[in-house]
């Protein structure tokens, strides 16, 4: 069973700053990693799939990179609406799994 470890647990930043979120898999998942954003009281929203493919309609300030076991979601310049919890997810190996999440909060 693959474990996804997200770091940091909490990221305190100001609007306009760059956010770098990490997701590490316990074994290789090739490039099959997705990133989701979840705001309080809302369902998760798919941002990036297959490590680096941004979903249609997602702003270009969100970008995903990585392969193998190490993946990164970067938000180039935080907007007020970007403060939320972010989860990574893999379905490369059974069972599907989510990381524990990174909360991006306003500093």
Whole-number minimum distance, CB 100 to other proteins, in Å? Answer: 5
The number of residues making up the chain comes to 107
Of residues 50 and 79, the one with the C-beta less far from other proteins? 50
**38 and 44 Cβ atoms separated by less than 8 Å:** yes
Q: Give the C-alpha separation, 28 to 92, whole Å.
A: 9
Our CB check for other proteins shows the closer of 66 and 101 to be: 101
Minimum distance from residue 89 beta carbon to other proteins (Å): 6
Cβ 106 to other proteins shortest distance, Å: 19
Q: Give the number of C-alpha atoms closer than 13 A to the C-alpha of residue 30, restricted to the C-beta side.
A: 6
Q: Is 104 exposed, middle or buried (0-12, 13-18, 19+ CB in 10 A)?
A: buried
Residues that bind other proteins (CB under 8 A): 32, 34, 36, 38, 42-46, 49-50, 55, 87, 89, 91-92, 94-101
Phi, psi of 82 (to 5 degrees): -85, -10
Please, which residue, 63 or 98, has the CB nearer to other proteins?
98
Least distance in angstroms from the C-beta of 99 to other proteins: 8
């Amino acid at each position: 069973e693959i474990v996804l470890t997200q770091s940091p647990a909490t990221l305190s930043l100001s609007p306009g700053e760059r956010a770098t979120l990490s997701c590490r898999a316990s074994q290789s998942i090739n490039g099959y990693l997705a990133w989701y954003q979840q705001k309080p009281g809302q369902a998760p929203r798919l941002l990036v799939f297959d490590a680096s493919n941004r979903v249609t309609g997602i702003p270009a300030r969100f970008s995903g990179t990585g392969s193998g076991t190490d993946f990164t979601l970067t938000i180039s310049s935080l907007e007020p609406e970007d403060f939320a919890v972010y989860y990574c997810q893999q379905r490369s190996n059974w069972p599907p799994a989510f990381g524990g999440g990174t909360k991006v909060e306003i500093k």
